[in-house]
Structure 1
Amino acid sequence: MAISTSQFIVLIQLVIAHVLADFFLQFEEWVKDKEEKGVRSKYLYLHVLTHFLTTFLLLGELKYWPAVLFLSISHWLIDVCKIKKDKGLNKQLPHTTFPHYSRLKLKYFVLDQFAHLFVIGLIWLYLIQRLGEIPTLWQEVITNPGTLIIIAVYGLGTFPVAIVIDIATREWQMQISTDKLDGNDLANAGIWIGVLERLIIITLVLVEQYESIGFLIAAKSLIRFSESNQKNATVNKKSEYILIGTLLSYGSAILLGVGANTLFKLFVTS
């Protein structure tokens, strides 16, 4: 499904309108009032009206008003669902841990934004008269070798590689655990740091910006420099373990990126 420049501009206008209205034109007191009063909050409706006007002005076409109205109503429905979830979560806060609360808040935020963007995508396809081509578009996505390579390499670079590294370094993890570390490390921080750094490295390899990987390695080395100078056997063991994990993480990300580029040359650009 070929998309013209003018059609793509409509999508960008819709996304910009969403970002402006949801993040720049929505103020902290609005959010607090919505969480406290729910559907009775005047700011909920003011927020929806802001979305309507921002989207309508950016599209700049009077004929688009029914689609913009539908988009605004759907935005109201999605926000109501999120407000109810947030209110229920706030009631649980005294009886739950803060990390669990934070994870749920993040989960609701991501789902909320995904729902908004999904509707924006549908409205965009409607405006460019391509809504009926969704099955064809989906078929192109799942049969396009380039898309499948990207999905596979980024998917493998997240938790599958994390599990492999965890298994490969299990012996050293057990040695460190017997040394009774002080427990000041953030829960699961290492896993997420590894996932993020692999995604960054894969991206850099895909765009052939290999020099930038050196800056990433240097930055992480500086963070750990102070620990390596401490006269503490436990800290030194931990630093060595982190170094091994880092090398495994970086090495796997580079291999995935190089493998993806090779597959691109064989099946996409050939």
Structure 2
Amino acid sequence: MILFTKLFLAHLIGDFLLQPTRWVIHKEAHKIRSKYLYLHILVHFVLTMILLWNLSLWFWVVLLILSHYLIDVAKLYINPWFKNKSIPFFIDQFLHLLVIYACAYTTDVVTHTLTLVQQIDWSLVTAIVFVGFPSSIIMTKLLEGMANKIALDHKSLPNAGKYIGIIERLFVFVFMIMGRWEVIGLLITAKSVFRFNDLKESNSRKLTEYILIGTLLSFGLAIIAGIIYKGGLL
């Protein structure tokens, strides 16, 4: 486990802390000819060797750095194919993490992976999935009649309310299973403060009631999921 942690730490430092934005821009412009691509790989190599501090692992470090280079080059060339630039970014990070995992547990990668899968709390996974998009759809159906009577705010970001709701339910669920009810109260207060100006400017009783019902319903679904999970009913 400590080997994986050190390799992952080296990756985080090399990819995020020690890679300036100008390096990224230069790499995207010049791709495989970019000098910063090779400087970036060198930084990863040095960081990994320092954190491992074990010359006997040099072969795995070279293999890891070579794979990092190939993944980064592939990302530079497929990046223009995607309109949403976050997709190649997350694919790139997932592949790096996969290689780090394979190198860290190379002697028993299959056994270790099977052990991790067997330890998954499927009830927890199911509850987390439920408070995400399924809860959003349930709320949309329940509030559909009210939503038709509320004037749309075209200044809002697309789907912002949906994602805010998902994040707040995840927070409520996590804090609930941790037994930190006071933090849930703080979340309700914080949301009320952020919404205060909108409600004050709109001066709409319907909008106020709609937001209040939506908030209570959102928190309620997360709390119900938490009660079912903690009660072992899932």
- The two structures have a TM-score, normalised by structure 2, of 0.92
- Over the residues paired in the alignment, what is the CA RMSD in angstroms? 1.9
Matches within 5 A, 1:25-40: 25-40=18-33
Taking the aligned partners of 2:162 and 2:124, their CA distance within structure 1 comes to 21
Residues 153 and 111 (structure 1), Cα distance of their counterparts in 2 relative to 1, 3 Å cut = same
Local SS of the residue matching 1:183: coil
Assess if the C-alpha contact under 8 Å between 2:199 and 2:207 holds in 1.
Answer: no
Shift of the alpha carbon at 1:134? Answer: 4.5
What amino acid is the match of 2:103? I
Residues 196 and 206 (structure 1), Cα distance of their counterparts in 2 relative to 1, 3 Å cut = same
Taking the aligned partners of 1:237 and 1:19, their CA distance within structure 2 comes to 47
Equivalent residue, structure 2, for 1:248: 217
Taking the aligned partners of 2:203 and 2:40, their CA distance within structure 1 comes to 55
Taking the aligned partners of 1:132 and 1:182, their CA distance within structure 2 comes to 52
Residue correspondences, number = 234
Equivalent residue, structure 1, for 2:136: 162
Assess if the C-alpha contact under 8 Å between 1:224 and 1:239 holds in 2.
Answer: no
What amino acid is the match of 1:243? L
Assess if the C-alpha contact under 8 Å between 1:205 and 1:257 holds in 2.
Answer: yes
Taking the aligned partners of 1:219 and 1:242, their CA distance within structure 2 comes to 14
Taking the aligned partners of 2:176 and 2:111, their CA distance within structure 1 comes to 34
Equivalent residue, structure 2, for 1:79: 72
Equivalent residue, structure 2, for 1:119: 99
Assess if the C-alpha contact under 8 Å between 2:11 and 2:44 holds in 1.
Answer: yes
Local SS of the residue matching 1:175: coil
Assess if the C-alpha contact under 8 Å between 1:227 and 1:239 holds in 2.
Answer: no
Taking the aligned partners of 1:220 and 1:139, their CA distance within structure 2 comes to 37
Shift of the alpha carbon at 1:228? Answer: 2.7
Equivalent residue, structure 2, for 1:137: 115
Residues 182 and 191 (structure 1), Cα distance of their counterparts in 2 relative to 1, 3 Å cut = closer
Shift of the alpha carbon at 1:86? Answer: 2.6
What amino acid is the match of 1:163? I
Shift of the alpha carbon at 1:231? Answer: 6.1
Shift of the alpha carbon at 1:60? Answer: 1.1
Residues 230 and 71 (structure 1), Cα distance of their counterparts in 2 relative to 1, 3 Å cut = same
After the TM superposition, which of the residue ranges 68-77 and 163-172 deviates more from structure 2?
68-77
Unaligned runs of 5+ in 1: 1-7, 90-100
Over the matched positions of the two proteins, sequence identity in percent amounts to 38
After the TM superposition, which of the residue ranges 200-209 and 161-170 deviates more from structure 2?
200-209
- The two structures have a TM-score, normalised by structure 1, of 0.81
Equivalent residue, structure 2, for 1:109: 89
Matches within 5 A, 1:1-270: 8-89=1-82, 101=83, 104-126=84-106, 129-134=107-112, 136-137=114-115, 139-141=117-119, 144=120, 147-176=121-150, 179=151, 181-230=152-201, 232-233=203-204, 236-263=205-232
Shift of the alpha carbon at 1:182? Answer: 4.5
